[in-house]
Chain A
């Protein structure tokens, strides 16, 4: 509960927080570009995370730290294990081994909903809009700590009336920002693919997260929307949130990421600033290698 209050205050005073981008870039300026390198102020600190499906080792990350308040891109060829890694970190899948600390708390034993409550909220590669519910209901369901979500309290309208109204206000603000305000009474299933991505992101923000994990937020989004999505992600950083996102397009990564981590065949092969990564031979090999594999099939 104290978590969410903290996040709210951070949101309310974006101007008093030192400009997010500057702070993030400064914090990462002197970090050497090597896999598993320690950060100044990591919000997430993962060690020895491994997940195998039968014989296939999908994820085997020796060490990764994610800098608080920065935008970190996670890139890598298809099948590198990025989604699986997300699933593990957010409690949607269980690792064979590995432990990680999120914001000072051991998170590797938590269930997925506990992870979300702890402040790490994810979106999905294939959007999961709640199709037969309205856009507004999609947003409201995201709000944290609702009194009316208890069975007995739910029966008594006065108990949750005011909180519901406040959540509705907050949802309207977010919908306005994500240009979904006109759609608020439509079913989520009626939205376009790109709008669903926006809705999913807006919905995640209803939880006041401290870290947002976006799995390919830009996939299938038209170029115009893509630009506004990028702006939204940058805004998150200004609000003090940490962002970890998966993306293939190096131009996009260049534009918004402060830091890039590269996965290939389940392992973290390198890390660095976008410039360092573009110049890294291993990254190109990893992508090309994947292409070779794909061509052979």
Chain B
């Protein structure tokens, strides 16, 4: 069945021309991440038996096309040696098997190996048009650079189970990234009751700070990451010190605080846009890393490393909550602030700590996501909704629930692309959020509230 080998990656760097679609054939446009056309790249088309039918070069506008005489399965190969230096095909898949029954767009997403001297791309260009003629449910749309800035390795052209495994693994990775952010959001909610709409911008903050250290100051990514996480913690601390603690002292209502957090989110987001611009930027290492191909799973080493670090951090936070004095105090405050206060816990100190850790974890999530997909000023805003979904799913205010919720959401978002169009995968996750509200509003681990 053609769907299993859809082999159509509607990715970055391709604009299918909507005009001449009556003829039978394959075509595409090669563009780099800055939407600059890539010329002089050899593309060969072979039929299912491996017989070469044609070889063409991309033109000055990056376009190439091969006309075909008969419908059927064809293998389209991009000769990577003809690519300009520094460019490669994302995920090392220069060969695609295509089912042709009309004039089909075949898309090779090109990735920059090194970000040195790269012109920024414009915001808004990144919503790639999917070209129209394919009705296969399994095609990936603009996976490399969706407006969400979330991407977990383009998984294309896989047979059923392999593809499912790859999606599962990328879902777990994504879930861990959500979890890093969700734990902080959930703990802030648990201890202060604040639904913090500015939490997504803590994620962006981490990604942006690491970018600054990495690209502007020339530090290696791992050093930049550590500094960004530390700064994220400091940012969380400062937010509580400078804003939230005084507001609590002033006795400002929770609803007002929630709306203040929206103002703060706008403020941080547009300040980022002001200083960094609207383009997606990448760190100068680990871009277009050659993936490990285990046969049943293709995964980039960076995903493995960031995933493992995130998991270790989540486990460490859980252990700290369970066994350290401060961790127990945190849970006590989340349980009942008044009671905790009366037993001699410094509630404000605990809340300050929660903000600091929350800020650091969110920043870490931002750095890790940026290592995979680059930094953009609104990346956190788009992720925030999934973080909310995760937190609600787990039960508002419980850190453990937030973790479980995150993993479920992460896996759900990725696995759902098996059945729905990838551009709708967030829609699926958000719909699930609403359905959970309907059936189990207190979440998986949450409790009902008391009245009277």
Contacts and interface: CB of A to CB of B under 8 A. Distances in A.
Do A and B share a direct contact in the complex (Cβ within 8 angstroms)? Answer: yes
Contacts of B448: 53
Contacts of A92: 451-452
A126 B451 CA distance: 10
A31 to B, nearest CB: 29
A167 interface: no
Shortest 9 CB-CB contacts between residues of A and residues of B: A92-B451, A83-B452, A124-B452, A87-B452, A87-B451, A125-B452, A215-B452, A93-B451, A92-B452
Contacts of A125: 452
Contacts of A86: 452
B439 to A, nearest CB: 16
Interface string A85-118: 0110000110000000000000000000000000
B227 to A, nearest CB: 44
Interface residues of B, number: 4
Nearest to A93: B451
Interface of B: 447-448, 451-452
Contacts of B451: 87, 92-93
14 contacts: A53-B447, A53-B448, A54-B447, A83-B452, A86-B452, A87-B451, A87-B452, A92-B451, A92-B452, A93-B451, A124-B452, A125-B452, A126-B452, A215-B452
Give the residue among B447, B448, B451, B452 with the most A Cβ atoms within 10 A: B452
Interface residues of A, number: 11
Contacts, number: 14
Interface string A215-228: 10000000000000
B175 to A, nearest CB: 27
Nearest to A83: B452
Interface string A53-78: 11000000000000000000000000
Nearest to A215: B452
A54 B447 CA distance: 9
A92 B114 CA distance: 62
A83 B452 CA distance: 7
A53 B451 CA distance: 13
A215 B452 CA distance: 9
A226 B197 CA distance: 45
Contacts of A54: 447
Nearest to A54: B447
A271 to B, nearest CB: 23
A83 B448 CA distance: 16
Contacts of A83: 452
Contacts of B452: 83, 86-87, 92, 124-126, 215
Contacts of A126: 452
B267 to A, nearest CB: 28
Nearest to A297: B343
Contacts of A215: 452
A65 to B, nearest CB: 23
A131 B433 CA distance: 34
Contacts of B447: 53-54
Nearest to A125: B452
A173 B452 CA distance: 28
A87 B451 CA distance: 7
Contacts of A124: 452
Given A87-B451, A92-B451, 6 more contacts: A53-B448, A54-B447, A86-B452, A93-B451, A124-B452, A126-B452
A86 B451 CA distance: 10
B101 to A, nearest CB: 57
A126 B448 CA distance: 19
A54 B446 CA distance: 11
A125 B448 CA distance: 19
A215 B451 CA distance: 12
Contacts of A53: 447-448
A26 B279 CA distance: 85
A94 B349 CA distance: 38
A124 B451 CA distance: 9
A124 B452 CA distance: 6
B100 to A, nearest CB: 60
A68 to B, nearest CB: 24
B233 to A, nearest CB: 34
B232 to A, nearest CB: 36
B30 to A, nearest CB: 60
Nearest to B339: A297
A106 B74 CA distance: 73
A83 B451 CA distance: 9
A92 B450 CA distance: 10
A182 B203 CA distance: 54
Nearest to B448: A53
A83 B450 CA distance: 10
Nearest to B343: A297
Interface in A135-150: none
A125 B451 CA distance: 10
A124 B447 CA distance: 22
